[in-house]
Amino acid sequence: MSKLKLTIAVTGLNNTDNPGPGVPVIRSLKASPEFDLRIIGLVYETLEPGIYMEGLCDKIFQIPYPSTGSDELIDRIEEIHRREPIDVLIPNFDAELFSFMKNEDRLLRSGIHTFLPTFKQFQERDKDKLPDYGEKYDIKVPASLNLGSQNQISEIKEKFEYPVMVKGKFYDAYMAYNPEQVKQAFNKISSKWGLPVIIQEFVRGTEVNVIALGDGQGNTIAAVPMRKQYITDKGKAWGGITLSDDKMLEITRSLIRKTKWKGGMELELIKTVKDEYYLIEINPRIPAWVYLAVGAGQNIPEALVKLALGHEVAPMESYASGKMFVRYSYDIIVDLEKFETIAMNGEI
């Protein structure tokens, strides 16, 4: 069988202690026997480790942050595309998704395929809208309160028992045991991610996650449940294990069926001692632990690329439970010239 020759652009090469999914996505794509790939790495910062990992990307380009404006970002992508024609683009940051979703048609007209959630799917799962989401799609969620200002902190004790979770709209979560700690977390989060800051009921239990891929028609193409075994102080998984949990799969399939979710996603759930599952967050993209799903038998990035290109993909029904991943850190020695090239030319 001849391999499909493709050029794929990937963001999120920041394989730090808060890792972006770019490097594992590329690794997953390279594990596919069906593709002959040219990988374009798209980076925001000059010290993203993926730039310096030998054999990972064929070409690296620096791109402007979406906060500088969607047009600047897309103009730069099109400029790169003129030099290195891109077949599929896989964005891996929540914060950049909006710009790519907004310009999906423009990118497609240039010949760049994406496979992203719709605006409605993306926006209705916002953390500050989670209670409505839970009600609409019949899934348990923790009670929450959106804080627009510090003055509302006094309202917390009327609605919740401490401790509570204090969360940013995009990232960051802190546990707070009293109003003073809420105030501290509020200041940290609002200065970084803006308002509202979300107060969420603390649900006691075990955090479990599902990585999944929806085809946009209501079908679940892939789904693998996982439990974090080792968690960093940033709450990121440093080790995890795949689970055999039919209820988690049922929740995932039901949600994808009802929302007709398009693209990769990660469900973050709390499993209580009563075997109840609370949805605490939906990440609208492939998570950084995607390579575990590949190891367990479901190559989600490969399937996503095929869907982006309009190919039919049959749902993957099985995976191995009890597969583990253990992350590690590694020092790459880099010659200054390499750093200089990316810093000065914006490409390497």
Nearest approach, Cβ of residue 251 and another protein (Å): 14
Q: Are strands 206-215 and 262-271 parallel, antiparallel or unpaired?
A: antiparallel
Smaller CB separation from another protein, 93 or 278: 278
Smaller CB separation from another protein, 245 or 302: 245
How far lies 8's CA from each of 111, 211, 279, 301, in Å?
Answer: 12, 21, 32, 11
Nearest approach, Cβ of residue 267 and another protein (Å): 16
- Contact with another protein (CB under 8 A): which of 158, 322, 329, 333? 322
Instruction: Fill in the DSSP letter of residue 12.
Output: -
Q: Which of residues 57-86 bind another protein (CB under 8 A)?
A: none
Task: Point out which span in 55-63, 86-94, 180-188, 223-231 binds another protein (CB under 8 A).
Answer: 223-231
Neighbours of 35 (CB within 10 A): 18
Q: Which residue blocks in 85-155 are alpha helix, DSSP H?
A: 94-102, 104-109, 119-124, 130-136
Length of the chain: 348
SS3 317: coil
Smaller CB separation from another protein, 176 or 248: 248
> Is residue 321 at the binding interface for another protein, with CB under 8 A as the rule?
yes
- Total interface residues for another protein by CB under 8 A: 11
Q: Are strands 144-147 and 173-176 parallel, antiparallel or unpaired?
A: unpaired
Binding string to another protein for residues 148 to 187, with x set by CB under 8 A, is what?
----------------------------------------
Nearest approach, Cβ of residue 324 and another protein (Å): 9
Nearest approach, Cβ of residue 102 and another protein (Å): 39
Tracing tokens 């960051």 back to the chain, one arrives at 172
Smaller CB separation from another protein, 178 or 229: 229
Smaller CB separation from another protein, 68 or 206: 206
Judge contact between 214 and 175, C-beta under 8 A. Answer: no
DSSP 265-313: EEEEEEE-TTS-EEEEEEESS--TTHHHHHHTT--HHHHHHHHHTT---
Task: Point out which span in 12-20, 26-34, 45-53, 243-251 binds another protein (CB under 8 A).
Answer: 243-251
- Contact with another protein (CB under 8 A): which of 217, 244, 272, 345? 244
Whole-angstrom distance, CA of residue 164 vs CA of residue 175? 6
Nearest approach, Cβ of residue 245 and another protein (Å): 5
Whole-angstrom distance, CA of residue 241 vs CA of residue 159? 36
> Is residue 297 at the binding interface for another protein, with CB under 8 A as the rule?
no
Neighbours of 106 (CB within 10 A): 15
Binding string to another protein for residues 200 to 219, with x set by CB under 8 A, is what?
------x-x-----------
> Is residue 243 at the binding interface for another protein, with CB under 8 A as the rule?
yes
Smaller CB separation from another protein, 199 or 226: 226
CA angle 12, 94, 74 (to 5 degrees): 70
- Contact with another protein (CB under 8 A): which of 18, 67, 217, 229? 229
Q: Which of residues 245-274 bind another protein (CB under 8 A)?
A: 245
How far lies 34's CA from each of 30, 106, 322, in Å?
Answer: 9, 28, 27
Judge contact between 60 and 39, C-beta under 8 A. Answer: no
Smaller CB separation from another protein, 96 or 245: 245
Smaller CB separation from another protein, 89 or 248: 248
Residue ranges that bind another protein, judged by CB under 8 A: 206, 208, 226-227, 229, 241, 243-245, 321-322
